[in-house]
C-alpha cells in the first residue's frame, strides 16, 4: 500500500481537501451581498445595475472565493 508524501519536519501526511482562509470567506461574502443586492434592485426595476451585480456575484466573486489562496497539494 502506498503512502502519500510526508512532511519532513513532522513526519505526517499533509491533510488534503479544501482549506478556506479569510480571503475566501470575504470573497464569498461579497458574492452573496452582490447577488442579494442585485435581486433587490431587479425587483425594483433596475435594468443596468441589477444584472451587473448579479454577473459580478455569480461569475467573479463566488469563483474567486473558491480559487483564492489555492495551493497545489502533492
pLDDT tens across the length of the chain (74 residues): 455 566 677 766 666 666 788 999 999 999 999 999 999 999 999 999 999 999 999 999 999 999 887 655 44
* CA 13/CA 39 separation, integer angstroms: 45
Q: What is the pLDDT of residue 43?
A: 97
Per-residue burial over 21-54, b if 16 or more Cβ lie within 10 Å, else e, is eeebeebbebbeebbebbeebeeeeeeeebeebb
Q: Is the dihedral of CA 34, 40, 41, 42 positive or negative?
A: positive
Amino acid at each position: 500500500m502506498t503512502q502519500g508524501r510526508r512532511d519532513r519536519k513532522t513526519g505526517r501526511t499533509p491533510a488534503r481537501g479544501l482549506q478556506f482562509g479569510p480571503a475566501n470567506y470575504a470573497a464569498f461574502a461579497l458574492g452573496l451581498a452582490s447577488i442579494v443586492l442585485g435581486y433587490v434592485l431587479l425587483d425594483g426595476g433596475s435594468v443596468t445595475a441589477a444584472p451587473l451585480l448579479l454577473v459580478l456575484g455569480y461569475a467573479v466573486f463566488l469563483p474567486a472565493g473558491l480559487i483564492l489562496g489555492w495551493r497545489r497539494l502533492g
